[in-house]
Amino acid sequence: MENIFTIRIKPKNNECLSSFLMRLCDQNKVHIMDLLKSNNKFYKVYNLSSTHQLDTNPKRVFDIKKISLITGVLERDLLNCSLNSILNVMCDRVLLEEITHSKGSFLNGVYNIKFRYFCPNCLADNLYYKLEWQLKDITICIRHNVLLTSTCSKCGQQQPYTHTNLASGHCFNCDNTLCSKLSTELIYDDSLIRKNVWLSQQYKNFSAIFSSETKSSDISNIYKDILIKFIYLCSNKVDIFKSEDIKFISRDYKYKLLNSLKVTKLESVDISISILFKVLWECKITVENFVSLEIPSSFSKSLLDYLQNLTVCLTPWCQHNNSNKMLFKINNVKSKTHFNLHICICCSVKFGNKRVDKVWEEYGDIIEVGYALIRPLVNAGFSIVDISRKTSISRYKVDKMVSYLTRFNLFNEVINNEFTPNFIDSFDYSYIMKVASTNENETIKKCKKYYKITKRETYYFFYNPIIQKLIYTN
């Protein structure tokens, strides 16, 4: 493959990586699919629908070192044609290779991944596609003051993200030129123009401004500092934190960010860049101003006090994770280790504040032991007995955890089907609803005897959220 590219070219100013590779392949009469297939390190079967990852997180999917060798372009220069520098700021290097457009919350709503956007005027002047044209926040060409488009002016078809015709500036459908200064109208909205110019500058400055901030060895504290500054800004820079003062973001997003601050070691900044820039624009400050914000000690202290009493569901698989919508106060259980006990009636997991340091955490060990420890071993094929020996956890408790994990479909499909009772459709809940109480062992003992089923099967029905709600909220 190295010898195929006899014509060597360089990326142009602000060009995205996929555009550069399309031009390189076009000039050397090589199909871009052949180049990407040979350098794909992630997909078993590669297709062009994944090409956007060249421009968002190329190191996750492609062998950049190999592409650098083939093209004669430094690896650093190739990565600068993508959002890689922004990802380096927003998340831990280990996590970086796991980030996708959907999984990385700071990429959500940021990038157009399906269609190719362009300015026909710019293409007419210099035929290449800029990285910023794919950013959803940027809607106009700041050089020509015209709307960016993804459609052909002749047939109206939206252009795919990658196609051989794009390298020559032609529509993939009708072969009409996309490089036309006559096909777009000027934008006269000064506020829209100013916002797009500002956004373009912020995206370009973002990595350079934050890079010095994130070189600290204690990167988790840097991430927390960014989150606190963002919350401070959303609170209109008041001296004392109050949850109700937070503006610009939704209620669920607010609780998600607040709960992130409770994590001991953050691996990323859970703020969408699009939302960050939206708030900065509303508050009329730049990224540089944001980084230099000084947080009043009174705000930090009041925020910490609030976090110690923050009640949200912490269960990773629960659809109400980071929300208190399905949390119900438990009034019929007393604990020596926790207070303010709640149960999420969506996932049947209990939470409370530790009496020692008031930290909000799971009251029990379904997440830490069941989900994090036992689940991977079961999925790997270990038996209940083997898991008990390997982890020094009693078989009784392993069985109990397996019942919960099965109830909420947290194993792979084959194992989940194996552990699911085969009579769930005909099961009569009337007796368990009658005898269910906070005395878990007594409830399980009575139901096991009455229904004539195994202990694991009994726990499966015991963990029904309706039963859990009945026990702990009545």
The structure tokens 């196609």 sit at: 163
Q: Is the pLDDT of residue 96 over 80?
A: no
335-347 average pLDDT score: 93
Q: Is the predicted pLDDT of residue 89 greater than 80, yes or no? A: no
148-176: b or e for each residue (b if 16 or more CB lie within 10 Å)? bbbbbeeeeeebbbbbbbbbebbbbbeeb
> How sure is the predictor about 339, in pLDDT bands with cuts at 50, 70 and 90?
confident
- Averaged pLDDT, 195-221: 75
Phi, psi of 434 (to 5 degrees): -75, -40
Query: What are the respective helix, strand and coil percentages of the chain, to the nearest 5?
Result: 50, 10, 40
Give the pLDDT band of residue 107 (cuts 50, 70, 90).
low
- Mean pLDDT, the chain, whole residue set: 87
Say yes or no to pLDDT of 341 above 60: yes
Average pLDDT in the 153-167 region? 94
pTM (predicted TM-score): 0.67
Helix axes 219-234, 297-308, angle to 10 degrees: 100
Ranges of each domain in the chain? 2-167, 212-307, 311-364, 370-473
Res. 2: pLDDT tops 80: no
From CA 404, how far away is CA 411, in angstroms rounded? 10
Give the Cα-Cα-Cα angle 260, 338, 365 (nearest 5 degrees).
65
The pLDDT assigned to 1 comes to 55
User: Does the pLDDT value for residue 94 go beyond 60?
Assistant: no
Residue 101 pLDDT = 46
Query: What does the pLDDT look like over 357-393, one tens digit per residue?
Result: 677 889 999 999 999 999 999 999 999 999 999 999 9
